[in-house]
Amino acid sequence: MMTYDMFTQEIEKENKLGKQLHAMRDLLGLPRAEFFGKRLVREGFPITWVITVRARGRQRYPETEGINFHAIGTTWQDGLQSAAQEALGRVSQRHASELVGSPFEMFAKRDSYGKPMVCPPYTSGSRDMYCVQEHISELNRYSSETRDALDREREDNMILLEERRALKRMVAALQGTVELQKEKIEILEARVSTLQEELEEAKDEGEQLQDRLDNDALISDDDDYEEDPQDHESEPDYDGEDPDDDEEMIDEEEEDPEEPAFDPDNDNEE
């Protein structure tokens, strides 16, 4: 079931033609006509309002058939103006014999001679074939326009679907690239962690080596300090003579062959 955007039965409050239609309705004893508005928005076309008019026929004797038709306007008010004008012409044409001598006598459609086209009153069993054919032609036209709009929408949907598929493929490729980059990042992070550990180990080894070198330097300084007294003993005394030379001189004096050795027996014999 079609849903409408606007609806009114008080056409007399909308425009002057509506007031005239309301006065004619009261004169003929017809029920209020119903005006339904549907707003059509199509890409590449201006906004269009389709006004559906349902004017019921007389419910008392002599009964008449209702009138149904469509009108088009760029706005809701414009569509109501066109619908009220068309309704005046159709109702006047259908009830032309009843409107003779009334202010609405000239509202009826006229023939080629300019005279009102008087039609016999409609009964409940009669049909306004002209209105039916016109209504069918209008429906066919709207159906054709709707079919063309659906074809355009279908083409647009196909294009959008293809773009969506292309975007999905692009997203899948980008996700694969992201996963690959994540794996590379994990490998690089592991490498950085390993290098940091190696750097810490190298720092520890360097500190240990530095401590060892400092300890060796301290030990070397202690050894040099202990060797200093021997160096002082080997130095010559105050008169510049070496004690070893004195010992050698004493040994030479003891081993002098010119001086005979002391013999106690010889002394006694003498």
**pLDDT tens sequence across 47-80:** 888 899 988 888 887 788 888 888 888 898 988 8
Predicted pLDDT of residue 135: 63
Would you state the pLDDT for residue 195? 92
- Which long-range contacts does 193-196 make (Cβ < 8 Å, 24+ apart)? none
* pLDDT tops 90 at residue 116: no
Stronger pLDDT, 147 or 218, i.e. the higher one: 147
Closest CA to 52 of 77, 18, 83: 83
Q: Tell me the pLDDT band of 133, cut-offs 50, 70 and 90.
A: low
Model confidence at 120, pLDDT cuts 50, 70, 90, reads very low
Task: Write b or e for each residue in 205-232: b if 16 or more Cβ atoms lie within 10 A of its Cβ, otherwise e.
Answer: eeeeeeeeeeeeeeeeeeeeeeeeeeee
Give yes or no for residue 86 having a pLDDT over 60: yes
The answer to pTM > 0.85 is: no
Residues 59, 80: contact at Cβ < 8 Å? no
d(CA 206, CA 212): 10
Residue type, 195: L
Amino acid symbol at 38: K
Q: Looking at residue 216, what is its pLDDT?
A: 75
**How many Cβ atoms are within 10 Å of 11's Cβ, its own excluded?**
23
Query: pLDDT by residue (tens digit) across 15-45?
Result: 888 888 888 888 888 888 889 998 888 777 7
What was the pLDDT predicted at 259?
53
Contact of 94 with 129, CB cutoff 8 Å = no
Residues forming beta bridges with residue 72, ordered by sequence position: 50
* pLDDT tens track for 226-244: 555 555 555 555 455 555 5
- Report which listed range, 180-184, 226-230, 254-258, is most confident: 180-184
CATH, domain range 6-126? 3.30.160.20
Query: What rounded mean pLDDT belongs to the chain?
Result: 76
DSSP string, the chain: ----SEEES-GGGT-HHHHHHHHHHHHHTPPPPEEEEEEE--TTS--EEEEEEEE---SSSSP---EEEEEEESSHHHHHHHHHHHHHHHHHHHTTTTSTTSTTGGGS-B-TTS-B---PPP-TT---HHHHHHHHHHHHHHHHHHHHHHHHHHHHHHHHHHHHHHHHHHHHHHHHHHHHHHHHHHHHHHHHHHHHHHHHHHHHHHHHHHHHHHHHHHHHHHHHHHHHHHHHHTS--TTS--HHHHHHHHHHHHT-TTSPPP-HHHHHH-
